[in-house]
Structure 1
């Protein structure tokens, strides 16, 4: 009888969205951490580098807004990246009262290499799904997160 109760409890849990999201998140976080470990950065630091390497120099606050972190967290992330020689704070060319944060050449190189490793880890993580299921899954996540739909299929 204990086996039946255990199976029922497991079925109850695995039918709950929160339970499933938590465990998928934990598995993906571990896979990402393993992929990024050789580069000495974590997923949040890589996200900051990616945002800072985008179209134009950004202030810490602009970058914080793009990745939805608070000011204190962003300062700590930038301090860590600066300590690793991956970003540098510079006076804005548009407004001398403002500083921007930009990846250093080392940061740009690490970003290129770590992004390849991150993308490969993501591909392996999603390999249990067909290409169609992967696209549907990511589209559903974007919808639930309130994120604009991206153009084109997911790279596999």
Structure 2
């Protein structure tokens, strides 16, 4: 069986196909990894990781924006995390309709376990690309992201 992608009319179509395929494979692999290693979903781990990476509490909309998810999806993940003792939610002093999210020590520990599992999986499964090639890929995808969504923030560190 030939694993080559089907022929497409141009490079953009080929790139679109490959982006969609790689994103699907990363999601499947991540879901299996986090279920197996830390007993949680990829979505749950991502929400926990965003809160962990931010100094101080975040609101649901900020988490949703960073992950490209809906506020409702993030809200369900937060509810699950609170029930599991991984996060706390408190009402913002400046706006009663806004909730501020923080991790509990258990949530922080789970993120560290997930980070370690991801690092192991990355070392075993993903190609070892030269740093310049990785930066080029990131620049291309960042440019496309910005062109398609001018309000998008850049993930590229200067």
- Shorter-normalised TM-score: what interval? 0.7 to 0.9
Q: Does 1:78 align with 2:82?
A: no
Q: TM-score, normalised by structure 2?
A: 0.73
Identify unmatched segments of 5+ residues in structure 2.
147-153
CA deviations 1:120-145 (Å, max 9, x no partner) are 33344432533332232233223322
Q: TM-score, normalised by structure 1?
A: 0.74
Query: Who wins on radius of gyration, i.e. which is larger?
Result: 1
CA–CA distance in 1 between the matches of 2:45 and 2:9?
33
**What is the number of residues matched between the two proteins?**
145
Q: Match of 1:145?
A: 145
Relative to its length, the structure with more helix (as a share) is: 1
Q: Match of 2:90?
A: 90
Identify unmatched segments of 5+ residues in structure 1.
1-5, 152-156
Cα distance 1:75–1:132, how it changes in 2: closer, same or farther (>3 A)? Answer: same
Relative contact order, CA 8 A, sep 6+: which one is greater?
1
Task: Report the aligned-residue RMSD.
Answer: 3.0
